[in-house]
Chain A
Amino acid sequence: MVISKKPLHFIIATLVALLPLLSSANTNNTSSSSIETTSKEHANKSEGHDVENANLTEEQKADLDRKAYIKHHLMDSHDFTIFTYGKEGEKHFGFPLPVILYDNGLHFFSSSKFEHGESVAESNGSFYKINHHDGLVYRTDAEGNFTEDEKGHVTNVKPLDFSITKNIFMILIVGLMMFFLFRDLGKSYKQNGSVATGVGRFFEPIVLYIRDDIAIPNIGEKHYKKYMSFLLTIFFFIWFLNMFGLTPLGVNITGNLAITASLAVITYLITTFTAKKDYWGHIFWMPGVPVPMKFILAPIELLGTIIKPFSLMIRLYANMVAGHIVLMSLIALMYTFNSPIGSPLSFFLAFVLSLLEILVALLQAYIFTMLAALYFGAAVEEHHHDEAHH
């Protein structure tokens, strides 16, 4: 084994693995640690009805806290907070992001004005506040009061929000990273006599795999080239974003329905606008079946063209959200047990699940690319069974 040749690494790895046992020493006397406090405050904020919670038992309250803690993690936010600490007057470690609103004119200010949702931001005579229930910005009065209808929906005016939120910030980072990474990979072929250098050596086989095992078998030798750029982009984009979702940055980008929806819409548009005559022929006038069947099949097939990208959207979103929820729930086990067993157990389970999530991150990127290639292949397929009907 490689690891036995490096005893120092082995010892360090063992020590790191034993860390949660040390942390269990003080779980009993500090029943509300800092994360618990934070989550409690978030819970109170997001519920907003402390009176409503008054008649719940202690256990039910803790349950609500953990739910709010998980929900908060899954949401997008207007500032980039990596962690929060301190029981009274919590300190946020992170940086603010620009807020861009369109509400009878353009409003542009820093999200530090919101003070993590605590205060009302004033811009050109209008007042804005973040609602803790859904994390969206609403126009309020100077005190920052929200009006609600009887169902609990906020009835305040919602301005068009073009802000650079945490998710958009990370998308830009990943976009820049991909641009420089693959531009350097492309350049290194010219400079180094058709051999990739540096980090490109790791990505070159993946690019070749997508070409040889995803694009060519599904789309065909003749047409695959014009789809390669999209397939590569979407594979690395989803993969990198999934991997960033597993880091402690706490971003959940591919677990955001708007983002998977836009990826699916792009796939749908490409399929529709590059489709050949035979694709539409198979949708509206299915060859080789009796005429009454053709009328029944046409609407089903037409619906199918929309269901395909819709399932792409739901699959990626649901997989990533489910992964994040399970991981956060396992971390929250610490507070459920509140005993020396809880901490190592939660660490161990979260560690094993993280390993599984690395696999899922790659698998979901692969499946999205694979199915997109399959749909493109169906769109450009040549008519090859003439003998069956003519």
Chain B
Amino acid sequence: MEIPKIIGAGLVVIGAGIGIGKIGGSAMDAIARQPEATGKIQTAMLIAAALIEGIGFAALFAVN
């Protein structure tokens, strides 16, 4: 019962990692295109990253 739980949580964390990576990468592209909008892009990036992070933590808690 313990091992499937851990594997599941690991998969969720991988997914969250890919998600945050994509957000960061896209934000980098956007900032490179429009450096004057850096502040707005960073804010939106942080919010989206924080929302995904929540899912990752939820998985870690389910395993605990």
When chains A and B are docked, how far (Å) is the Cα of A213 from the Cα of B58?
29
Residue interface mask A359-390, B partner, CB < 8 A = 1: 00001001100110010000000000000000
The answer to whether the Cβ of B30 comes within 8 Å of any Cβ in the partner chain is no
The answer to whether the Cβ of B50 comes within 8 Å of any Cβ in the partner chain is yes
Tell me if B54 and A370 are in contact (CB < 8 A): no
Tell me if A370 and B58 are in contact (CB < 8 A): no
The answer to whether the Cβ of A305 comes within 8 Å of any Cβ in the partner chain is no
The answer to whether the Cβ of A318 comes within 8 Å of any Cβ in the partner chain is yes
The answer to whether the Cβ of B60 comes within 8 Å of any Cβ in the partner chain is yes
Residue interface mask B31-64, A partner, CB < 8 A = 1: 0000000010001001100110110011011000
Tell me if B46 and A315 are in contact (CB < 8 A): no
Tell me if B47 and A371 are in contact (CB < 8 A): yes
Min CB gap A242→B, angstroms: 15
Task: Determine which of B39, B43, B46, B54 lies in contact with A314 in the assembled complex, contact meaning CB atoms within 8 Å.
Answer: B54
Contacts of A60 in B (CB 8 A): none
When chains A and B are docked, how far (Å) is the Cα of A366 from the Cα of B58?
21
Residue interface mask A307-339, B partner, CB < 8 A = 1: 000010011001100000000000000000000
Q: How large is the interface on B (under 10, 10 to 19, 20 to 34, 35 or more residues)?
A: 10 to 19
When chains A and B are docked, how far (Å) is the Cα of A219 from the Cα of B43?
15
Contacts of A370 in B (CB 8 A): 43, 46-47
Contacts of A374 in B (CB 8 A): 47
Min CB gap A236→B, angstroms: 19
Task: Determine which of A314, A363, A366, A367 lies in contact with B57 in the assembled complex, contact meaning CB atoms within 8 Å.
Answer: A314
Tell me if A311 and B43 are in contact (CB < 8 A): no
Contacts of A371 in B (CB 8 A): 47, 50
Tell me if B58 and A314 are in contact (CB < 8 A): yes
Min CB gap A199→B, angstroms: 26
When chains A and B are docked, how far (Å) is the Cα of A370 from the Cα of B49?
13
Contacts of A311 in B (CB 8 A): 51, 54, 58
Contacts of A314 in B (CB 8 A): 54, 57-58, 61
With A311-B51, A311-B54: A318-B60 Cβ-Cβ less than 8 Å: yes
Residue on B nearest A370 in the bound complex, by CB: B47
Contacts of A366 in B (CB 8 A): 46
Q: Which 8 A-B pairs have the closest CB atoms?
A: A318-B57, A311-B54, A367-B50, A315-B54, A314-B57, A314-B54, A367-B46, A314-B58
Query: Could you give 14 example pairs across A and B, Cβ below 8 Å?
Result: A311-B54, A314-B54, A314-B57, A314-B58, A314-B61, A315-B50, A315-B54, A315-B57, A318-B60, A319-B57, A367-B46, A367-B47, A370-B43, A370-B46
Q: Which residues of A are at the interface with B, using a C-beta cutoff of 8 A? A: 213, 311, 314-315, 318-319, 363, 366-367, 370-371, 374
Other A-B contacts than A311-B51, A311-B54, A370-B43, 7 sampled, CB-CB below 8 A, are A314-B58, A315-B50, A318-B57, A319-B57, A363-B46, A367-B50, A374-B47
